Amino acid sequence: MFVVEAIEAQADNNLNGTWVLRADYDSPWVQYNIYTFYDGYFECLRDDVFVSRGTYTTDEDNGIITFSATHTFGRTWDILFEYLDASKLEPIWYSFDDFIIAINLAFLGFEDSNDFYDIVITRVIPSWYESYNLFYFVDSNELILFPGINDYYSTDDFIVTENERLFIKR
């Protein structure tokens, strides 16, 4: 469910809808991703678990999408962090500041994991909330997100590499 506020920036309305990653690559952590886009807002799920939500803008002329996560979902990280008491993370959406507080509480009693804690607090969590750009291509049924420049003009004549992700509209 999206919380709708006014967004001044452009959002390609061809992205509106739900997109499922075609997982043709080997990943021990993720079986599939689902992105839902709606007029400048997005939500991301991995394997039926909410991950993040926030805003996005697009530069259609250059095929660039900019994601800005505003919230992360508490129970998303249960399976990722073996060094904390994940039961202390409520299954709710957390802003950056609220998530830092929750993670601090979850680390209580895990003194042996100080190095891991420092990395999580100073690098990992802040990176989830940083804005980032990807190149994108969208047509009526396919969305490609990729970190590098490609010369693809049609989805009929390309191969998806490991750095590109092909989503099919649901």
pLDDT tens for the chain, residues 1 to 170: 555 454 556 899 999 999 998 665 555 555 678 899 999 999 998 877 888 999 999 999 989 999 999 999 887 766 556 556 666 778 899 999 998 888 877 777 665 666 777 777 788 788 888 898 989 999 888 998 887 544 333 344 444 444 567 888 88
Cα Rg, the chain, nearest whole Å = 17
Element (H, E) at 71: strand 64-73
Q: Is 106 helix (H, G, I), strand (E, B) or coil?
A: helix
Question: Which of these, 136, 156, 109, lies nearest to 35 by C-alpha position?
Answer: 136
Q: Is 41 helix (H, G, I), strand (E, B) or coil?
A: strand
Domains and CATH numbers, the chain: 13-81+129-169 (2.40.128.280)
Predicted TM-score (pTM) of the model is: 0.75
